[in-house]
């Protein structure tokens, strides 16, 4: 199905024509694009069956637009549109998306200030060159600055930890609005799809899919665009609507009938690369796969479509969990029935990295324990910062001993096992931040780099290798040191780190803080080939952080990990064999 691709062609042409101040065509092109995008049947199929005559029967598509579609389907491009693109400055479509900027203004900016791209425009605003321009002025300069900020926010990738709760919220708000007494639409099948369902570490936009009969679809869309958090409606149709929320996130909602729900869920979950590969499998087996269903080639007969499971099954594949759908070998593995049995939330028995008021945590030791027990955990490790972490209120040896006493006391009142741990700094020479006689007494030592991030690769590698060779270190915390959107991973030779860690039986942390997600999926996949084991930890700084586990779990699953690969799925008795110093 190439309807969206064809629609995109006309949207782009419309933008450029508008810029060139052609009066009526942009409107006609946009209308056609919308009709094509929302047309239930494959435009390509209509053309191959009925030729141009079939196309002109679609409302909004006249002779000349049909000619363009035919040319595009035959040759992969439209000569006229290619010429248009050559004449327009390359930044035009982007500038058209800035609120308050129409084609006339863009032309004026280009002719008078030589502003051709978004970055030119930002420079011009910063230098206050717009306020003297006829038709602009100081107020409009300010408004444009705000519009650019909003545009950039809505185009920046957002953290999984922000997108996931937001999607949950929107889905439940939409459900209750639809199911209210005035609307009475039953939305029992609604789910987030796209990169969010694959639990990618960052999300471009939030995609939501809902099932409803055709007659109900518009009602669902009415509910969606009128949600209180919606700031701007980009597009509203009966199958797809798109909005921008007040805080800048873009949400796409698609509504499909029951017979296509599974096919749409599969398609819009992606990834695009997985879908392309899956479509090839379909073709090889004499089928055709689209977001509407799985069909016998050259026929309208749908053989699967209402559930994802039946689509994979009909293609001769084991069901592939969304986190694996990145075209990293999952389709071959599904064909051979060798997919991993991924670690699940219910497998996790404890959390091995958390802070309390003793260092930089916001909650008391007791509160953290209570919450962990309420989550059903069998054990936790309390790992406040070591003494060199002055900014994080790192603990002197004496304070640590006070904490041990409190742990001993509290242990009597709780069923959950409380491990005495520490997040110990790996100092610049690779040594650990407590003397051996203290390290020896800790049940779990989580080693972490918190300084000297700019070390050259060789020095950083030697530093971490030294720490991994230290018999008292158990876990390497957030091994790459990156902070999403803020700080790159430090330069380090991971091959060497993984090799030495494996030799010494050290555990790699998967840190679940939304700003870290470290190790990331790629590094997890790589580390696993060294035979390493992992722990998924929250690095909690407050009780509310304990639920971050789901994000780390997502990365572990994206890294193909099974229960056996993750030590905090082990029962307490077996954990003792991993951390040999454990003495409770
Ligand atoms: P994002 O939003 O950048 O984090 O990534 P996604 O994966 O959510 O991508 P998005 O929102 O553009 O599209 C949602 C899904 O729709 C995507 O995962 C797969 C499917 N899709 C989008 N474009 C194409 C395409 O050109 N071909 C195929 N086969 N699938 C596509
Ligand atoms: Ca998306
Ligand atoms: Ca999307």
Is the CB of 155 inside a 6 Å radius of any atom of ligand 1?
no
Question: Distance between CA atoms of 225 and 245, rounded to whole angstroms?
Answer: 10
Is the CB of 322 inside a 6 Å radius of any atom of ligand 1?
no
Is the CB of 276 inside a 6 Å radius of any atom of ligand 1?
yes
Residue at token pair 């110990």: 424
Query: Atom 1 in ligand 1: which residue has the minimum CA distance?
Result: 204
Is the CB of 275 inside a 6 Å radius of any atom of ligand 1?
yes
Closest approach atom of ligand 1 to CA 157: 4
pLDDT along the chain (584 residues), means of 10: 85 82 79 85 90 90 93 90 80 82 86 90 92 89 89 83 96 94 88 98 96 94 95 92 91 96 98 96 96 93 96 98 98 98 98 96 97 98 94 92 97 97 98 97 97 96 98 98 89 98 98 97 98 98 97 98 98 94 75
Query: DSSP of 77-131, one letter per residue?
Result: S-HHHHHHHHHS-TTHHHHHTSTT--HHHHHHHHHHH---SHHHHHHHHHTT-ST
CATH number at 158-256:
3.30.460.10
Question: Distance between CA atoms of 291 and 305, rounded to whole angstroms?
Answer: 8
CATH number at 345-578:
3.20.20.140
Q: Contacts by 271-280 with C-beta closer than 8 Å and gap 24+?
A: 271/195, 271/198, 271/325, 271/326, 271/327, 273/326, 273/327, 274/320, 274/325, 274/326, 274/327, 274/330, 274/331, 276/327, 277/327, 277/331, 278/315, 278/331
- Pocket perturbation via mutation, ligand 1, pick of 275, 282, 289, 323 by most ligand atoms within 8 A of CB: 275
Is the CB of 204 inside a 6 Å radius of any atom of ligand 1?
yes
- CATH entry, 260-336, from 3.30.300.20, 3.30.210.10, 3.20.20.70, 3.30.499.10: 3.30.210.10
Q: What angle do CA 23, 25, 29 make, to 5 degrees?
A: 145
Is the CB of 559 inside a 6 Å radius of any atom of ligand 1?
no
Closest approach atom of ligand 1 to CA 200: 4
Q: Enter the tokens of residue 268.
A: 């819009």
Q: Where are the domains of the chain?
A: 3-155, 158-256, 260-336, 345-578
pLDDT of residue 285: 95
Closest approach atom of ligand 1 to CA 202: 4
State the distance from the centre of ligand 3 to the C-alpha of 239, rounded, in angstroms.
13
- Pocket perturbation via mutation, ligand 1, pick of 207, 279, 326 by most ligand atoms within 8 A of CB: 207
pLDDT of residue 16: 81
State the distance from the centre of ligand 2 to the C-alpha of 565, rounded, in angstroms.
30
pTM of the model: 0.80
Distances (CA, A) of 287 to 49, 283, 511, 552: 18, 5, 42, 37
Residue 142's contacts (CB-CB under 8 Å, 6 or more residues apart) are none
pLDDT of residue 1: 74
Query: Atom 16 in ligand 1: which residue has the minimum CA distance?
Result: 268
State the distance from the centre of ligand 1 to the C-alpha of 353, rounded, in angstroms.
35
CATH 1.10.150.110 fits 3-155, yes or no: yes
Query: Atom 13 in ligand 1: which residue has the minimum CA distance?
Result: 194
The CB density around residue 92, as the number of other CB atoms within 10 Å, is: 22
pLDDT of residue 125: 94
For 419, list phi and psi in degrees, rounded to 5.
-85, 140
The number of the ligand nearest the C-alpha atom of 270 reads 1
């Amino acid at each position: 199905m190439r309807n969206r691709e064809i629609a995109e062609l006309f949207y782009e042409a419309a933008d450029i024509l508008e810029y060139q101040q052609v009066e009526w065509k942009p409107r006609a092109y946009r209308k056609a694009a919308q009709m094509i995008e929302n047309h239930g049947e494959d435009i390509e199929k209509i053309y191959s069956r009925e030729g141009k005559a079939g196309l002109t029967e679609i409302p909004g598509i006249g002779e000349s637009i049909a000619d363009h579609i035919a040319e595009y389907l035959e040759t992969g491009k439209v000569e006229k549109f290619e010429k248009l693109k050559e004449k327009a400055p390359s930044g035009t479509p982007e500038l058209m998306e800035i609120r308050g900027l129409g084609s006339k203004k863009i032309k004026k900016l280009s002719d008078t200030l030589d502003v051709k791209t978004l970055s030119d425009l930002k420079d011009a605003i910063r230098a206050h060159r717009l306020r003297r321009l006829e038709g602009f002025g100081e107020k409009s300069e300010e408004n444009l600055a705000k519009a650019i900020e909003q545009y950039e926010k809505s185009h920046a990738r957002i953290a999984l930890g922000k997108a996931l709760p937001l999607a949950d919220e929107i889905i439940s708000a939409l459900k209750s609005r639809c199911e209210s007494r005035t609307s009475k639409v039953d939305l029992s099948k609604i789910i987030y799809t796209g990169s969010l369902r694959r639990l990618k570490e960052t999300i471009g936009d939030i995609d939501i899919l809902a099932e409803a009969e055709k007659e109900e679809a518009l009602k669902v869309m009415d509910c969606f665009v009128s949600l209180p958090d919606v700031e701007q409606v980009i597009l509203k149709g009966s199958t797809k609507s798109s909005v921008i929320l007040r805080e800048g996130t873009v949400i796409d909602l698609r509504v499909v009938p029951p017979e296509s729900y599974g096919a749409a869920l599969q398609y819009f979950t992606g990834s695009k690369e997985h879908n392309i590969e899956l479509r090839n499998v379909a073709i090889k087996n004499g089928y055709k796969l689209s977001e509407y269903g799985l069909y016998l080639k050259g026929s309208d007969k749908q053989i699967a479509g209402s559930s994802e499971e039946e689509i994979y099954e009909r293609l001769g594949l084991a069901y592939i969990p969304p986190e694996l759908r990145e075209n990293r070998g999952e389709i071959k593995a599904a064909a051979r029935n060798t997919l991993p049995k991924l670690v699940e939330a219910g497998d996790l028995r404890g959390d091995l990295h958390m802070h309390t008021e003793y260092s930089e945590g916001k909650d008391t030791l007791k509160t953290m324990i209570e919450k962990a027990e309420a989550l059903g955990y069998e054990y936790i490790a309390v790992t406040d910062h070591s003494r060199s972490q002055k900014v994080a209120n790192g603990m002197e040896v004496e304070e640590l001993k006070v904490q041990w006493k409190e742990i001993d006391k509290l242990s009597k009142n709780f069923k959950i096992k409380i491990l005495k741990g520490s997040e110990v700094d790996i100092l610049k020479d690779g040594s650990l931040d407590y003397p051996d006689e203290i390290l020896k007494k800790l049940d779990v030592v989580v080693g972490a780099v918190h300084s000297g991030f700019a070390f050259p690769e060789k020095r950083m590698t030697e530093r971490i290798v030294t720490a991994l060779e230290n018999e008292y270190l158990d876990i390497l915390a957030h091994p790459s040191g990156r902070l999403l959107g803020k700080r790159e991973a430090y330069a380090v030779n991971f091959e060497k780190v993984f090799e030495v860690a494996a030799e010494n039986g050290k555990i790699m942390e998967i840190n679940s803080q939304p700003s870290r997600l470290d190790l990331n999926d790629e590094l997890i996949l790589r580390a696993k080939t060294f035979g390493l084991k992992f722990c998924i930890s929250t690095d909690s700084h407050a009780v509310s952080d304990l639920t971050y586990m789901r994000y780390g779990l997502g990365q572990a699953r994206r890294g193909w990990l099974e229960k056996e690969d993750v030590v905090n799925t082990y029962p307490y008795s077996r954990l003792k064999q991993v951390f040999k110093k454990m003495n409770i």
